Structure 1
Amino acid sequence: MKQQKKSFGVLVLAAGKGTRMRSKTPKVLHTVLEEPILYYPLKAAQSAGFSESAVVVGFGGEAVSSWLESEFPKSEIIWQREQKGTAHAAKLAQRWWSSFDNVMILAGDAPLVTPETLSLFAARHKEEKKACSFLSFDLDDPTGYGRVIRGRGGVSVVEHKDATEEQRAIKEVNSGMYIFDSEALASVIDKISPRNAQGEYYLPDALSLIEEEGGSVDAIKSDAPDEFLGVNDQLQLAKAASVMRDRIVKSLMLNNGMHCMDPRSVWIGPKVKVGRDVTIHPSVQLWGDTVVEDGAFIGSFTVLKNSTVRANANLKGSVRLNDSTVGERASAGPFAFMREHAELLVNAHVGRFVEIKKSKVGKDSKVPHLSYIGDAEIGENTNIGAGTITCNYDGEKKNTTKIGRDCFVGSDTMFVAPVTVGDDVSTAAGSVITQDIPDGALGVARARQTNIEGWSRRRRHKMNK
């Protein structure tokens, strides 16, 4: 019994070197808002409901494949060892796309296409039963783009380098995004030749070949040209990031009620989740899998990556969070740094010039200023005095400091880990704590003060002789 084909597969072409990027990094791994360019077309297709995808890799393919295996493990990887053009790439993937009724082909260096556009594109192609549909758009300056030629004989595309002067005057251009009936593409893919200025196998040549065989081709013009911005150099990369930033911030302001007084200075990545009634001041960056819950406040010059800010928390400004959590109604900053799964629990506070590394600060506890807390656990309602340091590294390994609840740690205390401090403990300012302190005790570990009467006066007299 013949196996029924699936309706759509998405093939992303990502083998190009990107010479104009002037970089050793494969073009599709350059980042837009901290995510590789390639993330965006794959995610758009996934969000549009297309679950089957494959990616053609070439230059820097090992790095691209490694990223795909981590981020899009269900995508099939197809190698194009020699970059001989888009039709050549499609030919190498023929075994894969032959299992679908239709194959959508996207450019791996075009990060701005939306799921909505891809959904409408597929629906129209299927509704009109075309052998091939492709997206087009108008550009005031179409230099470098393939021109869309419409005539009585149908629709075709001529690459810029092969176009006549009359054709180059056309403003409608090819986006490089296609949907082919798989059987129609299979019937012409081997007929495409490299007889052109670049000596490459061009996928647009399939359009006229399909029409010659009686198939119908349609160019579906979009009124959103920004969606088809390709990235070929660093300036275009920056432009793409700016467009995506504006799109994300606008959506959060309109749909989530995010208050943002200077949207153009705020940078938010595509994976970030923001709740209701969040306030973000100018010059803030939110990256990776960051989550900001309802009612939180994010002050200026704060940078968060893969971190969580719970409801009604307050980041007062110039705060850095990496892989860390600020609890509900907790506060941090200004000039605080939390990293490696540091956590503030409910209503805890970390203040000026404090670094928290791989530590937990308990409910209602405070580390107000000028302290380093590393590999530590602090209980509830404990106050850590200025200048406190957990000396966690002994030259070979990291050691843990445990401080109980209701403690008062005097300024300039050093805890030489491993050390455990019980509940309701105080330490004298300037102490170097090397031993455990039991519940309810005062820890004092410093030299006894000696006052030498008249010493300063005698010294001054001696210097003036």
Structure 2
Amino acid sequence: MTDNVGWPTLAVILAAGQGTRMRSSLPKVMHAVGDRPLLGHVLAAVEAAGIEQVAVVLGAGGPVVADYLRQAAPTARLFTQHEQLGTAHALLAARGALQAHEQGCVLVLFGDSPLISAQTLSRLRQALIDGAAVAVAGFYTDQPGPYGRLLVEDGHLRAIREAKDASAEELQVSFCNGGVMGLRADSCLWLLERIGKQNAQGEYYLTDVVTVANGAGLPVTAVEVEEDDVRGVNDREQLLAAERIYRQRQANL
């Protein structure tokens, strides 16, 4: 394990989703679990992991979220994704922060994943310190359903296949994409700018960074985490599920 001195970290939190399935005028990331908004839990994990710099990408509901961030994370840099063209496009909306962060690690998080832990962030960071250009959080599940599949060969992550683009054989894979990802700062922008949109949705998938990195001969790895750590909230039912898990965790402290 390499010492992490000299590896400054930038966390980019993607919070531009419209959250239409929440059936509420309140921006999705502002719905509460426990005593704080979903986004607040992500910020708390970032702080607990000792991450020095934070950028947040806003979209629909931007002013409400921005007002919250000015109170909860006054040093965070705020960016806006003006069109919804996919997760890689959302990350590139924070280009100013990425360009300024030339060394160390970039961790990509989601503002609607309130159960993320500082330990998961630290493990992704460590994978980059240990030599990976890209490190992806993955989890095993008996119900992979709509999740992207992590295609691993000989210990190396070769691709992330979105369920809608996966073959019948790939859909049998139970190791799934948790969304959270780490990239080395010195190759991050180079990789992002080479992502295309040749897929079923015609969007720029952040997951395609794995294929681009492999094609360039850069090392890519998957870091196994607990499914709950990367559980997202997209509707009221998932919000209630996150609340239950959060309360269980609090009771076990």
Name the CA distance, whole Å, in 2 between partners of 1:76 and 1:83. Answer: 20
Partners of 2:13 and 2:108 within 8 A in 1: yes
Higher helix share: 2
Partners of 1:25 and 1:60 within 8 A in 2: yes
Shift of 1:242: 0.7
- SS, match of residue 206 in structure 2: coil
Q: Corresponding residue for 2:47?
A: 46
Name the Cα RMSD after superposition.
Answer: 1.5
Q: Corresponding residue for 2:3?
A: none
Q: Corresponding residue for 1:234?
A: 236
- SS, match of residue 53 in structure 1: strand
TM-score normalised by length of structure 2: 0.92
Partners of 2:12 and 2:107 within 8 A in 1: yes
1:120 matches 2:104 = no
- SS, match of residue 13 in structure 1: strand
Name the CA distance, whole Å, in 2 between partners of 1:42 and 1:111. Answer: 9
Name the CA distance, whole Å, in 2 between partners of 1:143 and 1:214. Answer: 31
Q: Corresponding residue for 1:200?
A: 203
Q: Which segments of 5 or more consecutive residues in structure 2 lack a partner in the other structure?
A: 1-5
Seen in structure 2, the aligned counterparts of structure 1 residues 117 and 6 have a Cα distance that, compared at 3 Å, is closer
Q: Which segments of 5 or more consecutive residues in structure 1 lack a partner in the other structure?
A: 252-465
Name the CA distance, whole Å, in 2 between partners of 1:236 and 1:107. Answer: 15
- SS, match of residue 52 in structure 2: coil
Task: Work out which of the residue numbers 216, 219, 226 in structure 1 matches 2:219.
Answer: 216
TM-score normalised by length of structure 1: 0.51
Q: Which residue identity is paired with 1:89?
A: A
Name the CA distance, whole Å, in 2 between partners of 1:148 and 1:116. Answer: 21
Name the CA distance, whole Å, in 1 between partners of 2:211 and 2:192. Answer: 12
Runs of 4+ in 1 over 6 A off after TM superposition: none
Q: Which residue identity is paired with 1:43?
A: A
- TM alignment of 1:23-422, pairs within 5 A: 23-100=24-101, 101=103, 102-126=105-129, 128-151=130-153, 154-222=157-225, 224-251=226-253
Q: Corresponding residue for 1:387?
A: none
- SS, match of residue 127 in structure 2: helix
Name the CA distance, whole Å, in 2 between partners of 1:118 and 1:105. Answer: 10
Shift of 1:183: 2.5
Q: Which residue identity is paired with 2:206?
A: L
Seen in structure 2, the aligned counterparts of structure 1 residues 53 and 92 have a Cα distance that, compared at 3 Å, is same
Name the CA distance, whole Å, in 1 between partners of 2:247 and 2:52. Answer: 26
Name the CA distance, whole Å, in 2 between partners of 1:154 and 1:172. Answer: 11
Shift of 1:89: 1.1
Q: Which residue identity is paired with 2:168?
A: E
Partners of 1:134 and 1:177 within 8 A in 2: yes
Name the CA distance, whole Å, in 2 between partners of 1:23 and 1:164. Answer: 36
Shift of 1:23: 1.7
Partners of 2:42 and 2:114 within 8 A in 1: yes
Name the CA distance, whole Å, in 2 between partners of 1:142 and 1:59. Answer: 29
| CA offset digits 1:112-160 (Å, max 9, x no partner) | 011122223212321x211111110011111121110113574210111
| CA offset digits 1:368-392 (Å, max 9, x no partner) | xxxxxxxxxxxxxxxxxxxxxxxxx
| CA offset digits 1:68-93 (Å, max 9, x no partner) | 11111111111001111110011121
Partners of 1:184 and 1:215 within 8 A in 2: no
Seen in structure 2, the aligned counterparts of structure 1 residues 85 and 25 have a Cα distance that, compared at 3 Å, is same
Name the CA distance, whole Å, in 1 between partners of 2:145 and 2:124. Answer: 25
Aligned residues between the structures? 245
| CA offset digits 1:195-225 (Å, max 9, x no partner) | 2111211001011111111100000112x22
> What percentage of residue pairs aligned between the two structures are identical?
35
Shift of 1:6: 6.2
Partners of 2:89 and 2:204 within 8 A in 1: yes
Shift of 1:94: 2.0
Name the CA distance, whole Å, in 2 between partners of 1:188 and 1:41. Answer: 25
Q: Which residue identity is paired with 2:146?
A: G
